[in-house]
Structure 1
Amino acid sequence: MTALRPERESGAAGYGDAGDQGTSYGQPYEVPDALGEWYGQQAYDAAVGEAPLGGGPVDEETMALRVPAPPGESLAAGAAAGTGTAGTTRATEATTGNGATGTTPGGRAARRKAAKRRHRRHAGHVGHGDHGAHAGPPAEPSKDDDQRRPLSRVEARRLARARKPSPAVVASRLIGEVFITTGVLMLLFVTYQLWWTNVRAHAQAGNEASQLQNDWASGKRNPGAFQPGQGFALLHIPKLDVVVPIAEGISNDKVLDRGMVGHYAEGALKTAMPDAKTGNFGLAGHRNTHGEPFRYINRLQPGDPIVVETQDMYYVYDMASILPVTSPSNVGVLNPIPKGSGFTEPGRYITLTTCTPEFTSKYRMIVWGKMVEERPRSKGKPDALVS
C-alpha cells in the first residue's frame, strides 16, 4: 500500500529506509506494507476513540492531530517532534503518562474540562502554529460583550427600578400636564370669547338687519307692539361706523349675545319708544364680545349724531353728556328725566348703557342724547347719515 506523507525534518532519521527508493527531501515515497498497516491501525483507533493517532494525545486546545511516531521510536522522541506549547504538552504527557498510550491521569474527559476552563479564563482565541498551538493575550472585555451578556434576575430588577420614575417625577409630570391642559383650555376660551363670539354675532346681526329692511320694503312689519327678541329698528352711530339692529328686550340669549342692541321694555326698567312725544328711549349693548356694538361709545363727544331708523321715520339725537362709571343698580339713569344727565325738564331723550371697564361687568357707562330731528323716510336720509 502506498500513501503520501508529510515532508521529513532535515537531518532526522528516516521512516522505514527499506521502503525508500531514493526519493529526495520533500517528495512522496512509498511506505512499506508493515508500516502502512501500523498507520492504518492507529488511524482506526483514533477514529473510534480508542487512542490518538500514533499513541499520542490529542491537543484539546486546537483539536489538531499530530504526526505519529514510527514504530521503535520512544514516546519522548515522538513528543519532541511537536513545536510550541502543544509539543511541550505531549512531551510532558509522554514522560508522566499512564501506560503505553501516554494519557495523563483523569483521561480525556478531565483534559476536555481543563481545556474549557482555560478557554473561559482567556477572552482571546487560540492560535494555530505550524505544528502546535499557543494562546493569545487575554482580550479586554468590551461594552458590546456586556450588552450581549444575559442579565441576572437581580440585575434585571435593579435596571427596572432604575428606569422606573420616582413618585416625585410622576407628580411633577402630572402637575405639568394639568397646567398645560388648563392653559390650552384657557387659550381656547379666550379665543372663543374675543374672536368667535364676535364673528357669530356679526353674522346674526347682519342677517337680522337685512331681514328687517326687506320686511320694511315689502310692508310686512307695521309700527306697534313687538315681541321680546323681535327687531324693530336700526341704530346708526356714524362716528363709530356702527349700524346694528334694535330688538325688544335685553335678554342675553335672544338679543344681546346675538350682536343686537336691546330696548329696555319690561317691568320697572320699561322706557319710551322713539315716537313718544316725551320720554327716554333706553338701550343696552355689549362693550366687549358678542359683536361689541358699544365698545367705543366713550369716544363720543357732545354734538355727535346718534340716529334711530324705523320703518317710517328717522330720529336724530345729538350726544349731550356721558357718565363714565356708575353702579349697575343705578336705574335712575333710565328715568324720563335721566339722573346725572344734566337734563332738567321733560323731553325726548336717548340713553345708551354698557359695561365698564372693558372686558368686565363690574360697573356701567352711560351716554345720553337729545332728539334734534324727526324725519320721515319718504324724505330721504337725514344729513347725519349722508355726510
Structure 2
Amino acid sequence: MRERIPVVVQGRRTRRSRAARALWTGAELAVTLGAVLLLLVVHQLWWTNRQAQRAAHDQVDRLERQWEARTAAPAAPPRPGDDGSAEQAARGGPPSGASGRRAAGRPPAPPRNPAYAVLRIPRIGLTAPVAEGVGKAAVLNKGYVGHYPHSARPGERGNVALAGHRNTHGEPFRRLDLLRTGDTVLIDTAAARYTYVVRRTLARTTPADGTVLAAVPYSGVHPAARFTAPGAYLTLTTCTPEYTSTYRLVVWGVLRSTQSR
C-alpha cells in the first residue's frame, strides 16, 4: 500500500493568519480608543467638576474669613492732620484729590478676576464665588460665577449681569432653570448683603441676544420679555439645553433690600 503525502497549502494559511492578526490589532485599537474616550468623558464630566467645586468652595471660605477678620478688627484712630487719604489708600482706593476722586457713594471697583463676592441661591442650594470677568480660563472654568465687566456692580442701579457654566467645571448654574418668580438671590460682598427677587425667566434665547444685559434689560428676540423702567436689576445667564451651548437661559431679578455689614 502506497503511503500518501499530505499536501500543505502554505499560502492560504499565511493569508489567514495575517488577516486574523490584522483583525485582532484592529479590535485592540478600537478597545484602546474607547477606553481613552471614556477617560476623557469622565475627566470632563466628573473630575473637572470636583476640582472646580472644591476650588470654588475654598474661595468662598477664604472670602468669608477675610470679611469676618475685617469686621472684627478695630478701626485705627485718625492721626492729627490726616485728611483721610491714608485711610482711603489702605482700603484700596485712590488718594484724595482731583485726579483720584471717586464719585460720592460709589463702592470701590472689584479687582480684576479674583473673587470678590459670594452668590447664594437658596432654591437650588447654590453658594459660589463671584469674580470679575467672564473669561473661561480665568473665571468660569474655576467654578466661579463671572460678572460682566461693563454691567452694574452689586447694589447699584442698572443691571448686575452674571454668567456661569451649566455643565462641567463646577456647573454653578446647573439648576438655574428651577428658579421661579419670587425666589430670592443673595449677593454678599465685604460691604453688604444685597437681596434680589426673581421677576422673570426667559427659558431660551439666542447667544446674540445681548440686550438681556442692558441697564433696563429686555430681549431683542422675544419682544414681550422686557422691563421698561430704570431700576436695580440682576441678570443670570447660562447655556441651554444641558450639555450644549446652542441657546441661553436668562433669569431676571430686582433688588429688594440692602443690609450693610
Task: Confirm or deny a common fold (TM above 0.5).
Answer: yes
Q: Where does residue 211 of structure 1 map in the other structure?
A: 62
Letter in 2 for 1:283: L
Q: Where does residue 160 of structure 2 map in the other structure?
A: 281
Cα distance between partner residues in 2 of 1:174 and 1:361: 38
> Unaligned 5+ residue runs, structure 1?
1-120, 122-151, 378-387
Cα distance between partner residues in 2 of 1:304 and 1:221: 34
Offset at residue 167 of structure 1 (A): 4.4
User: What pairs with 1:286-301 in structure 2 (closer than 5 Å)?
Assistant: 286-301=165-180
* SS of structure 2 residue aligned to 1:183: helix
Offset at residue 226 of structure 1 (A): 2.8
* SS of structure 1 residue aligned to 2:20: helix
Residue-pair matches, total: 221
Cα distance between partner residues in 1 of 2:19 and 2:68: 72
Letter in 2 for 1:287: R
Cα distance between partner residues in 2 of 1:176 and 1:162: 21
Is 1:308 aligned with 2:187?
yes
Letter in 1 for 2:254: K
> Unaligned 5+ residue runs, structure 2?
71-89, 93-106, 220-224
Is 1:201 aligned with 2:52?
yes
Stretch of structure 1 that moved more, 211-220 or 181-190? 211-220
Cα distance between partner residues in 2 of 1:351 and 1:202: 22
* SS of structure 1 residue aligned to 2:27: helix
Cα distance between partner residues in 2 of 1:312 and 1:169: 72
Letter in 1 for 2:165: H
Q: Map Cα deviations across residues 74-114 of structure 1 (whole Å, 9 max, x no partner).
A: xxxxxxxxxxxxxxxxxxxxxxxxxxxxxxxxxxxxxxxxx
Q: Map Cα deviations across residues 42-85 of structure 1 (whole Å, 9 max, x no partner).
A: xxxxxxxxxxxxxxxxxxxxxxxxxxxxxxxxxxxxxxxxxxxx
Offset at residue 236 of structure 1 (A): 0.5
TM-score relative to the length of structure 1:
0.53
RMSD: 2.5
Offset at residue 302 of structure 1 (A): 0.2
Q: Where does residue 63 of structure 1 map in the other structure?
A: none
Offset at residue 280 of structure 1 (A): 0.1
Offset at residue 161 of structure 1 (A): 6.4
Is 1:228 aligned with 2:112?
yes
Letter in 2 for 1:288: N
Q: Where does residue 100 of structure 2 map in the other structure?
A: none
Letter in 2 for 1:271: S
User: What pairs with 1:4-43 in structure 2 (closer than 5 Å)?
Assistant: none
- Specify which structure has the higher proportion of helix: 1
Q: Map Cα deviations across residues 309-356 of structure 1 (whole Å, 9 max, x no partner).
A: 111211111111111111111111000011134311000000000001
Offset at residue 173 of structure 1 (A): 2.7
Is 1:258 aligned with 2:138?
no
Is 1:247 aligned with 2:131?
yes
Letter in 2 for 1:206: H
Offset at residue 164 of structure 1 (A): 6.5
Cα distance between partner residues in 1 of 2:127 and 2:148: 19
User: What pairs with 1:132-147 in structure 2 (closer than 5 Å)?
Assistant: none
- Specify which structure has the higher proportion of strand: 2
Q: Map Cα deviations across residues 268-296 of structure 1 (whole Å, 9 max, x no partner).
A: xx1000132x2000000000111111011
* SS of structure 2 residue aligned to 1:186: helix
* SS of structure 2 residue aligned to 1:307: strand
Cα distance between partner residues in 2 of 1:319 and 1:225: 25
- Contact 1:215 1:221 (8 Å CA) reproduced: no
- Contact 1:281 1:350 (8 Å CA) reproduced: yes
- Contact 1:321 1:342 (8 Å CA) reproduced: no
Cα distance between partner residues in 1 of 2:111 and 2:260: 24
